[in-house]
A and B are shown apart, each in its own frame.
Chain A
Amino acid sequence: MKRQSIDKGVHSLFLAIALFSIIFLSLIMLFLFKEGIPIFDFITVKDFLFGQYWYPTDDPADFGIFPLILGSIYVTIVSGLIAIPLGVMTAVYLAEIATPRVAEIVKPIVELMASMPSVIIGFFGMVVVAPFLQQVFNIPVGLNMFNASLMLAFMAIPTICSLCEDAIFSVPTALKEASFALGATHLETIVKVVIPASLSGICTAVILGLSRAIGETMVVLMAAGGAAMIPMSIFDPVRPLPASIAAEMAEAPFRSEHYHALFAIGIVLFVFTFLFNILADYISYRFRQTGEASL
């Protein structure tokens, strides 16, 4: 009898521990809101989100984060334009074309890309890519939107690639064989059968990859240039949301308006990535491939 009661106790203990993730997530939201909301005593939500000027240390200070939001959106879009094709194409290559021996070499490379510390990618953007861009495009500053987007793409590719590969790999072989039997070439099978069958997985992968890019801090802090202006060209410096928090937290006095404003930026950032994740979860849950029935 004693064994059974231990068993029950252990079961409840594990359930309690499994709830920690939810508790931490709730605590993160709670503290973001607790420290971020007070800024709205000084400024309306609309002026905060759509204000054109971010001069937090002036007197009187301006807390308009519109240029920062645009900066984040632009670098995410440009990095997506680079990372999505490259990530998906590499995944198709790995799952469909590469021989097992080659795949065994390429996969660890993708994993190592994923594990590269972000500060090193940002550092590389600063000391190698920036002077290179300056020379090649003959522009005044090498630390700009394009540089940051390139570096962010490097970070998003492994996420997109490995999740895509899982999705493509799980397409049932019978589907492919049916396509081959009808006389389709390998490429036609990939484009007309494999990719449509794994589309929900590919979409999820892309969303999660972009979500990683929009939340990435060190790269945009070091390589984006840091100017809180609305960019006019791809070679203008920008100051995305995470860069602003990271750069200014040290100088913001505890519980000052500036401090609360930075937490409010944290809320905006959290909401962005939260929505991305909910969307990814919804797509993979709603449109998941169950057998071959839904094709």
Chain B
Amino acid sequence: MKNRRKTVQKIWFLLLRLAALLNGAALLLIVYFILSRGFTAISWEFLTKAPENSMTEGGILPCIAGTIGLCLVTIMAALPIGIASAIYLNEYSGKGKIVRIIRLGINNLAGVPSIVFGLFGLAFFCIVLDMGVSLAAGGLTLAIMTLPVIIGASEEALKTVPDTYREASLAMGATQWQTIRKIVLPAAFPGILTGSILGISRAAGETAPIMYTGAVFFTPNLPDSIFDEVMALPYHIYVLATAGTNIEATRHLQYGTALVLIVLVFGMNLTAIILRSKMRKKLRI
């Protein structure tokens, strides 16, 4: 009897291990394919030239510049709003009705499908605010989408600051704002930074919100104002893979662009993960 229970447990634990392993294998498989086939496309010219010959040759510099530009607009809009919202939720608010409504709003914003953000950006930023298809409209659309991620991460970071810090500062006669500015924020800064990197990495990889608000098929120029339209890495992959003049002939360009995007996004994520694990080790001591 006892043996049977042990055997059943062994079988189930093996299955659980396999499930975890399968996830890792799937991730590895995707990364392997993109890496092995994209690697040959990467060259100095690929990274520093504009697409040529109706996008069948040349490089992806305008896409890299466009994606970086979109991320910058996103950071500048989402970071202040996100951090301030997190401070309100964690430092000022009690457990009242208004907080519950704000949280419900944030949760629902996090669940809005990415293409719906695109529709909203098109109707609001591009048309009503008359920004047209531009870096500003695309970046702001991405900023609204990223907001819940940044709020969540900043709140987590604020929660790790021990209450004794706040109490000590208040006991010295500091006001709450002084306490937040001089004690809580500096202590929570690394956590907020990590969360922000994660939020921006998500914005960098999104396609649907910028399809009709910021990104275009092709523009040979680098953006020099925030009201310029741009090319972007994720959209470029989509365009080349589905609507290019010769889909098979540009396969290596598609893999190359995908590789650059993965390196960019995973680079940001790994930085955040490493920063966080270092921080946790510090907290434990």
Chain A residues engaging chain B, CB cutoff 8 angstroms: 3-4, 6-7, 10-11, 13-15, 17-22, 24-25, 27-28, 31-32, 34-35, 85-86, 89-90, 92-94, 97-98, 104, 106, 108-113, 115-124, 126-128, 154, 157, 161, 185-188, 208, 211-212, 214-218, 221-222, 242, 245-246, 249-250, 262-263, 266, 269-270, 273-274, 276-278, 280-281
Residues in A neighbouring B92, C-beta threshold 8 A: 11, 14-15
CB pair A11 B115 closer than 8 Å = no
- A93-B16 in contact given A25-B105, A121-B30 (Cβ < 8 Å): yes
* B131 lies within 8 A of chain A by Cβ: no
- A6-B175 in contact given A28-B112, A113-B27, A266-B116 (Cβ < 8 Å): yes
CB pair B111 A120 closer than 8 Å = no
Chain B residues engaging chain A, CB cutoff 8 angstroms: 5-6, 8-9, 12-13, 15-17, 19-20, 22-24, 26-27, 30, 33-34, 80-81, 84-85, 87-89, 91-93, 101-102, 104-109, 111-120, 122-124, 128, 144, 147-148, 151, 175-178, 198, 201-202, 204-208, 211-212, 234-235, 237-238, 241-242, 251, 254, 258, 261-262, 265-266, 269-270, 273, 277
| From B30, B80, B105, B270, contact of A124 by CB (8 A) | B30
Known: A4-B175, A89-B16, A120-B205. 15 other contacts (CB 8 A): A14-B85, A20-B147, A28-B144, A93-B16, A117-B265, A118-B206, A128-B33, A154-B30, A185-B6, A187-B8, A217-B115, A218-B208, A222-B242, A245-B115, A249-B118
CB pair A20 B85 closer than 8 Å = yes
Closest-by-CB residue of B relative to A215 is B113
How many whole Å from B58's CB to the nearest CB in chain A? 20
CB pair B88 A14 closer than 8 Å = yes
Sorted from nearest, which 5 A-B pairs have the closest CB atoms?
A215-B113, A117-B205, A89-B19, A187-B9, A14-B88
Closest-by-CB residue of B relative to A121 is B30
Cα A285 to Cα B113 with chains together (Å): 23
Could you tell me the dominant secondary structure of chain A's interface residues? helix
